[in-house]
Amino acid sequence: MLEILFTLAIVSIAAGAAGRSISGLSRTTAVETARLRTVVTLLHARRRAYSSEATAEVAVATGVVALIMRDPDGSTSNVALPPDTHVTHSVASGRVRFFGTGLAENATILLGTLDDAQQSSVVVNQRGLVR
Protein backbone atom coordinates (compact mmCIF):
# COMPACT_ATOMS: atom_id res chain seq x y z
CA MET A 1 0.00 0.00 0.00
CA LEU A 2 2.83 2.38 0.85
CA GLU A 3 4.53 1.64 -2.48
CA ILE A 4 1.35 2.53 -4.38
CA LEU A 5 1.03 5.89 -2.58
CA PHE A 6 4.71 6.62 -3.20
CA THR A 7 4.33 5.76 -6.91
CA LEU A 8 1.23 7.97 -7.22
CA ALA A 9 3.10 10.85 -5.57
CA ILE A 10 6.01 10.50 -8.01
CA VAL A 11 3.65 10.32 -11.01
CA SER A 12 1.71 13.42 -9.90
CA ILE A 13 4.94 15.40 -9.40
CA ALA A 14 6.16 14.38 -12.86
CA ALA A 15 2.81 15.26 -14.44
CA GLY A 16 2.84 18.68 -12.78
CA ALA A 17 6.35 19.40 -14.02
CA ALA A 18 5.43 18.32 -17.54
CA GLY A 19 2.34 20.53 -17.49
CA ARG A 20 4.38 23.59 -16.53
CA SER A 21 6.96 22.92 -19.23
CA ILE A 22 4.26 22.46 -21.90
CA SER A 23 2.68 25.75 -20.82
CA GLY A 24 6.04 27.50 -21.05
CA LEU A 25 6.67 26.00 -24.46
CA SER A 26 3.30 27.16 -25.79
CA ARG A 27 3.95 30.69 -24.49
CA THR A 28 7.38 30.76 -26.10
CA THR A 29 5.92 29.53 -29.38
CA ALA A 30 3.17 32.17 -29.30
CA VAL A 31 5.64 35.01 -28.63
CA GLU A 32 8.04 33.84 -31.33
CA THR A 33 5.13 33.56 -33.78
CA ALA A 34 4.15 37.14 -32.90
CA ARG A 35 7.75 38.22 -33.46
CA LEU A 36 7.89 36.49 -36.84
CA ARG A 37 4.59 38.06 -37.97
CA THR A 38 5.86 41.49 -36.88
CA VAL A 39 9.16 41.07 -38.75
CA VAL A 40 7.40 39.90 -41.91
CA THR A 41 4.92 42.80 -41.74
CA LEU A 42 7.72 45.35 -41.28
CA LEU A 43 9.76 43.86 -44.13
CA HIS A 44 6.71 43.91 -46.39
CA ALA A 45 6.12 47.61 -45.57
CA ARG A 46 9.80 48.35 -46.27
CA ARG A 47 9.61 46.57 -49.63
CA ARG A 48 6.40 48.39 -50.59
CA ALA A 49 7.88 51.79 -49.68
CA TYR A 50 11.08 51.20 -51.58
CA SER A 51 9.39 49.82 -54.69
CA SER A 52 6.91 52.71 -54.90
CA GLU A 53 9.35 55.40 -53.72
CA ALA A 54 6.80 56.59 -51.16
CA THR A 55 6.23 56.23 -47.42
CA ALA A 56 4.68 53.10 -45.91
CA GLU A 57 4.00 52.63 -42.23
CA VAL A 58 3.01 50.02 -39.71
CA ALA A 59 0.88 51.04 -36.73
CA VAL A 60 2.23 49.19 -33.72
CA ALA A 61 1.02 50.82 -30.49
CA THR A 62 1.57 49.44 -27.00
CA GLY A 63 -1.17 47.03 -25.95
CA VAL A 64 -2.45 46.18 -29.42
CA VAL A 65 -3.08 42.62 -30.59
CA ALA A 66 -2.93 43.40 -34.32
CA LEU A 67 -0.59 45.38 -36.55
CA ILE A 68 -1.99 47.72 -39.20
CA MET A 69 0.11 48.18 -42.32
CA ARG A 70 -0.61 51.27 -44.41
CA ASP A 71 0.69 50.99 -47.97
CA PRO A 72 1.85 54.05 -49.95
CA ASP A 73 -1.39 53.91 -51.97
CA GLY A 74 -3.40 54.37 -48.76
CA SER A 75 -4.74 50.84 -48.47
CA THR A 76 -4.49 49.13 -45.11
CA SER A 77 -4.19 45.54 -43.99
CA ASN A 78 -4.40 44.03 -40.52
CA VAL A 79 -2.01 41.36 -39.25
CA ALA A 80 -3.31 39.66 -36.12
CA LEU A 81 -0.89 38.55 -33.44
CA PRO A 82 -1.38 35.07 -31.97
CA PRO A 83 -3.91 34.71 -29.13
CA ASP A 84 -2.62 35.68 -25.68
CA THR A 85 0.12 37.94 -27.12
CA HIS A 86 0.34 41.71 -27.53
CA VAL A 87 2.77 44.59 -28.03
CA THR A 88 4.20 45.32 -24.58
CA HIS A 89 6.27 48.35 -25.63
CA SER A 90 6.55 50.36 -28.82
CA VAL A 91 7.71 53.70 -30.16
CA ALA A 92 6.07 56.86 -28.80
CA SER A 93 4.37 57.68 -32.10
CA GLY A 94 2.78 54.23 -32.29
CA ARG A 95 4.01 53.66 -35.82
CA VAL A 96 7.12 52.69 -37.77
CA ARG A 97 7.59 54.51 -41.07
CA PHE A 98 9.61 53.33 -44.06
CA PHE A 99 10.56 55.86 -46.71
CA GLY A 100 10.97 55.44 -50.45
CA THR A 101 14.70 56.11 -50.10
CA GLY A 102 15.16 52.87 -48.18
CA LEU A 103 15.53 54.62 -44.83
CA ALA A 104 13.25 54.11 -41.83
CA GLU A 105 12.50 55.45 -38.38
CA ASN A 106 14.38 53.76 -35.56
CA ALA A 107 12.09 51.52 -33.51
CA THR A 108 12.25 48.87 -30.84
CA ILE A 109 9.12 46.80 -30.39
CA LEU A 110 8.65 44.40 -27.48
CA LEU A 111 6.13 41.60 -27.82
CA GLY A 112 4.94 39.39 -25.00
CA THR A 113 2.27 37.21 -23.51
CA LEU A 114 -0.68 38.88 -21.83
CA ASP A 115 0.80 38.09 -18.41
CA ASP A 116 4.28 39.24 -19.60
CA ALA A 117 5.82 35.87 -18.69
CA GLN A 118 7.61 35.67 -22.08
CA GLN A 119 8.95 38.53 -24.21
CA SER A 120 10.78 39.04 -27.48
CA SER A 121 11.92 42.14 -29.35
CA VAL A 122 12.08 43.44 -32.90
CA VAL A 123 14.45 46.29 -33.82
CA VAL A 124 14.29 48.56 -36.89
CA ASN A 125 17.27 50.80 -37.54
CA GLN A 126 17.44 53.98 -39.63
CA ARG A 127 18.79 52.06 -42.65
CA GLY A 128 15.56 50.04 -42.66
CA LEU A 129 17.09 46.82 -41.39
CA VAL A 130 14.68 44.71 -39.34
CA ARG A 131 16.04 42.30 -36.74
Residue range 7-61, pLDDT digits in tens: 655 555 555 544 555 667 788 889 999 999 999 999 999 999 999 999 999 999 8
CA distance 40 to 42: 5
What CATH number should be reported for the domain holding residue 98?
3.55.40
- Determine the structural domain holding residue 74 and report its residue range: 2-124
- Whether the pTM exceeds 0.95: the reply is no
The answer to whether position 50 is within a domain reads: yes
Total tally of structural domains belonging to the chain = 1
CA distance 119 to 58: 20
The answer to whether position 78 is within a domain reads: yes
For 8, residues 6+ apart whose C-beta sits below 8 A from its C-beta are none
What percent of the chain has pLDDT above 70? 82
The answer to whether position 129 is within a domain reads: no
CA distance 19 to 1: 27
The answer to whether position 130 is within a domain reads: no
